[in-house]
Structures are given as structure tokens and as C-alpha cells.
């Protein structure tokens, strides 16, 4: 199994709204400026992203097979993937993307989280849509009355919502903006960062250079957000005019460390929902800086 491609670092792609800083860093030569060769792995076939087993999905399977060296996923998912993965790896940092998952509906009888007791909410299991739905609902709906259904990636969830086959779903950009242009309304939002999973062979120096380039890309994006909006909107195809992409449901900030306090709080919450068996610790999953 090859893990070092003559120093090249391969990124397993996530959705564009999460990957935009890395996309910009590649396009603008920011990785090269810090001495790294970075490229994205091929994302042509994303059909496995509908699988219930997250290890079978595109970005995770690319990493496990050593065809990619880094990828970002939601904070809770980063812990879950590393506990499932056979290759090994660490959480390097909290990613630069701060994105909202919004609970949306076209049903006039659903107007706030209180209305979702015993109502099925469409999510993709073990992704941000799953974890944020639990966080969003558990403050108002008794846990035993929260009902989630795995229906697949955001494009599929959007289609089910617009077809009237789903009463409520979790969506992030650009699929959220598409839903809103079709008359959907927001019942609640949950803004969250994610974690960057890194391969075990990447050195502390490589990771620091990677973070430096991504932070510079964040500054470029924030200096002219309208310039990059079409890149995000393009994932929705011809269903969304870039001018209709809502700027208030995503933003970018410099990379932050995954602290022990944050890990402890996150891990305790995951155990409370039986989303982990609790066998890992902070030093097990955190990458050296």
C-alpha cells in the first residue's frame, strides 16, 4: 500500500462548500508557495455516498485505500471514521469552513422544532446532517420522539423534499438555497465546523504548511466572497443561479486546533447517543502539531 507519492498530498473531496479553501489554495498556487504539492482525488463516482455504512463512501474509502491523504468531514464524523478506519490516522485540526445545516420544510404545519416530535426528518447517517439534526432537535423535542430517516446525500434529500415525499430535511449549501427558491422555509439552523482527517505518514511540518496555505485561501475568499459563490452554486447544477446562493449560511475562518476540552465534550455527547462505544481518547485521535 503506497502512502507517499513522492511528497504529493491528495485530498479526498467533500462537498464544495466544505472544500472551498482547499480548492482556492490549489487554484491560486498557495500550496506550492509553502512547498507542498497538493491535488484533489477524482470525485467522478459519488454513488457510494448514499450507503448507510460511512466507510464505503467516496472520501472515506479513498482514504482507507491510501489513494488520498486528507479529507474533511463533520467533527463527530471525524471521530467516527477514525474509529472505523483500518488504515489509521489522526484529526489534524478543525476545518476552515463554518457551515449551517438547516432544518427545512414545505409543510405549513411545521414551523418550529417543537412541531417535529414524531415527524420523520431526512438525513444522511453519520454525516453533519445526522449529528446536527440531533443537536438541533434535542433541546425542544424529547429524545425518544426524535425520528430520523437515512435517505442519502443532500441532492437526494432535496429531491424528496421538493417531490413531497419528505416533510422535513436537513440541508446545507447550495442545496439549501435551491430549497428556499422553491418556497421552503427554515425551522432552525445549526452552524458547525468540521475536522480534518490526516494520514499517519504526514509530518507535523507538512501539516503546518498545509494549514498556512489554507488560511491564506480563507483570506482570499473573505476578501471577495462573490467571486467564489459560483464555485459553490455549481454543485447544484442548473437548479441554482449563483446570485441566489445565500451568503449567510456559510463562512470561512482560519483553521483552529481540536482541543482536548472540545474533544471531551463532543465524545461524551456521542456516547450519550450511542454513536460511539467510547474506546478512544484525545491522544489517540489528535495529530501532533
Is the Cα dihedral 203, 13, 222, 104 positive or negative? negative
Q: What is the mean pLDDT of residues 10-26?
A: 97
The pLDDT score that the predictor gives to residue 43 is 72
Q: Is 147 within 8 Å of 43 (Cβ atoms)? A: no
The pLDDT score that the predictor gives to residue 286 is 76
pLDDT tens sequence across 193-206: 999 999 999 999 99
Q: Which of 214, 221, 256, 198 has the alpha carbon at shortest distance from 25?
A: 214
pLDDT tens sequence across 45-90: 777 777 778 777 788 888 988 999 999 999 999 999 999 888 889 9
Q: Which of 103, 121, 98 has the alpha carbon at shortest distance from 18?
A: 98
Note if the pTM is more than 0.75: yes
**DSSP E strand stretches across 151-249:** 168-171, 185-192, 194-198
- Please name each of the domains of the chain with its CATH number: 8-97+193-285 (3.40.190.10), 100-191 (3.40.190.10)
At residue 99 the predicted structure's pLDDT band, cuts being 50, 70 and 90, is very high
Amino acid at each position: 500500500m503506497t502512502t507517499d507519492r513522492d511528497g504529493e498530498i491528495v485530498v479526498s473531496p467533500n462537498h464544495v462548500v466544505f472544500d472551498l479553501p482547499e480548492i482556492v489554495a490549489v487554484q491560486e498556487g498557495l500550496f506550492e508557495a509553502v512547498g507542498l504539492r497538493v491535488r484533489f482525488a477524482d470525485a467522478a463516482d459519488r454513488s457510494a455516498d448514499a450507503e448507510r455504512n460511512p466507510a464505503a463512501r467516496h472520501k472515506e474509502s479513498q482514504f482507507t485505500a491510501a489513494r488520498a491523504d486528507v479529507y474533511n468531514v463533520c467533527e463527530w464524523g471525524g471521530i467516527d471514521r477514525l474509529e472505523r478506519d483500518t488504515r489509521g490516522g489522526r484529526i489534524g485540526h478543525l476545518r476552515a469552513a463554518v457551515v449551517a445545516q438547516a432544518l427545512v420544510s414545505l409543510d405549513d404545519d411545521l414551523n418550529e422544532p417543537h412541531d417535529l416530535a414524531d415527524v420523520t426528518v431526512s438525513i444522511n447517517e453519520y454525516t453533519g446532517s445526522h449529528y446536527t439534526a440531533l443537536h438541533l432537535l434535542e433541546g425542544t423535542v424529547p429524545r425518544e420522539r426524535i425520528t430520523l430517516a437515512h435517505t442519502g446525500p443532500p441532492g437526494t434529500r432535496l429531491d424528496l423534499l421538493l417531490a413531497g415525499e419528505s416533510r422535513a430535511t436537513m440541508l446545507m449549501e447550495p442545496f439549501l438555497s435551491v430549497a428556499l427558491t422553491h418556497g421552503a422555509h427554515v425551522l432552525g439552523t445549526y452552524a458547525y465546523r468540521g475536522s480534518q482527517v490526516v494520514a499517519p505518514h504526514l509530518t507535523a511540518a507538512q501539516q503546518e504548511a498545509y494549514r498556512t496555505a489554507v488560511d491564506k485561501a480563507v483570506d482570499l475568499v473573505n476578501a471577495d466572497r462573490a467571486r467564489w459563490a459560483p464555485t459553490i452554486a455549481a454543485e447544484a447544477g442548473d437548479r441554482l443561479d449563483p446570485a441566489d446562493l445565500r451568503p449567510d449560511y456559510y463562512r470561512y475562518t482560519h483553521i483552529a486546533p481540536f482541543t482536548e476540552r472540545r474533544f471531551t465534550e463532543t465524545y461524551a455527547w456521542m456516547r450519550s447517543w450511542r454513536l460511539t462505544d467510547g474506546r478512544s481518547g484525545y491522544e489517540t485521535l489528535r495529530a501532533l502539531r
